[in-house]
Structures are given as C-alpha cells and as structure tokens.
Amino acid sequence: MLLRNLLLLSAGSSLMLGCGTGLLQPKVSEGTIEYALTFPDYDPNGLMAGMLPEKTTLSFTEHKQVAELSAGMGIFRTMMQVDNDGHSMDYHMSMMGKRIVSHLKPRDMDLFNADYGTATILYTNDVDTIAGYPCRKAVAIFNRLEQNEIELWYTDRIQMDDPNWFGPFAEVPGVLLRYDMVQNGIRMHLDATVVTPGKVDQSKFAPKTDHESVAPPVLHHELAEVLGTFSM
C-alpha cells in the first residue's frame, strides 16, 4: 500500500510539473511585452524595408496599457494609451514635428478597424509557449480581408482586464502574444519575444500636453496618408 501511494504521488507530481508552465506559473499583472514585427507582404530587401518598424513595446497594468511604435528611422511614431476599464483610448501620432492626439471611445473603433469586417473566432485545442508563457490558439475569419484567416495565440497568464476591447479580436479572452494586424491594406505580424514583469513608469499613462487634440476622423485620415507612403 505504501509503495502504491508513493507511485501515485510521484505520478501526480510529474503531471503537475509537466503542466507547470500553464497551471503553476503565477499571473503577471504589470510589466512590458516586446514584440518583433514583420511584414509578410513586403520584400525584406525592397526599397521600403529600412523604413518599416522592427519592434513595438506594450506596457501594461491590470487596467491600462500603452503601445508604442516607431517607424521611418524615428520620423513616424504612434502611441496608444488605453484605459481598459473605461473603454477609452488616446491615440497619439507624430510625424516630422506634427503631433496630434484623438480621444477614442468604442463608437469610434469601427473607423479604425474597417479593413476587417465581421469576425468569426474559432477556438482550438492547440497550445504553444511564446516568450515563456503558455498560449492557446484561435483562428479569426473575416469577411473583408483578402487573406481572411488570422491565427491568434493568447495567454491567460498575463492579468489584464478586457485587453482586446478596442480591436477586431475583442472577444478573445487573453493577452495576444502572436497575431497579425491589418491597417490600410498593410499586414503586420507581431510575435512576442520578451515579457518583463515589473513596475511600469506611471508617467506613460499621463496625458501628453504637447499634442494637438483632433477628432477621430482627422486622425484616421492622417494615419492613412502616412501608411499610404509605406505601401508605395
């Protein structure tokens, strides 16, 4: 009986260790995620290759997130300050000394997600580990995209309230660590490389007083003009 109990205990411990990356790993509620960026439809040796961004950084707490991106050797920058609880976003754009910001609410998101159309999310049993975190796979199918399927890999080990509310993957119940985005016809692949738990500088969430406030359609038009230059 003693030997049987020891064997059962050993088997149970092995099972727990085998699932440890998913079941025993504590959730992270504050930190940064760095994503590598690639552009599947662009020639890596093409004329615009040197102007495209190579990475983006997401800083997060349980209730807020800030995504920062720089392109064109720093000439073009965007920053999205997102309040997940209040479902609002301050979308900043700067280009050659011009700085604008727009305050977006859920009603404004259709304008910025117009490329996608209606989504159907299919959940699978596939699993993977990305940047050290266990992820599950879903597939989003859109009725407007030419390549209408997007793979989504998401984790529940990063604790963030309603992290995807503002995008086309709003219903996905976790933080996305590998996925594609499409804006103004440009497809961008994001793949998390490093997740760094730790305190985030709260100034990242503070209003930026050096940006001119504009209406959402104005910001959308300005973004379309800039992104149009990258698709030439």
The structural domains of the chain, with segments of one domain joined by +, span 31-230
- Distance between CA 139 and CA 150 in Å, rounded? 6
The highest-level CATH class for domain 31-230 is mainly beta
Report the mean per-residue pLDDT for the chain. Answer: 86
Give the model confidence (pLDDT) of 143-192 as tens digits: 877 778 899 999 999 999 999 999 999 999 999 999 999 887 788 999 99
Contact residues for 109 (Cβ-Cβ < 8 A; gap 6+): 166, 167
- Distance between CA 138 and CA 77 in Å, rounded? 30
Give the model confidence (pLDDT) of 42-96 as tens digits: 766 666 666 788 899 999 999 999 999 998 777 899 999 999 999 999 999 998 8
- Distance between CA 82 and CA 65 in Å, rounded? 5
Contact residues for 193 (Cβ-Cβ < 8 A; gap 6+): 34, 35, 36, 55, 131
Instruction: Kindly give the pairing relationship between strand 175-183 and strand 149-155.
Output: antiparallel
- Distance between CA 38 and CA 74 in Å, rounded? 17
How many Cα atoms occupy the beta-carbon half-sphere of 128 within 13 Å?
Answer: 15
Question: Is a pLDDT exceeding 50 seen at residue 116?
Answer: yes
pTM value is 0.85
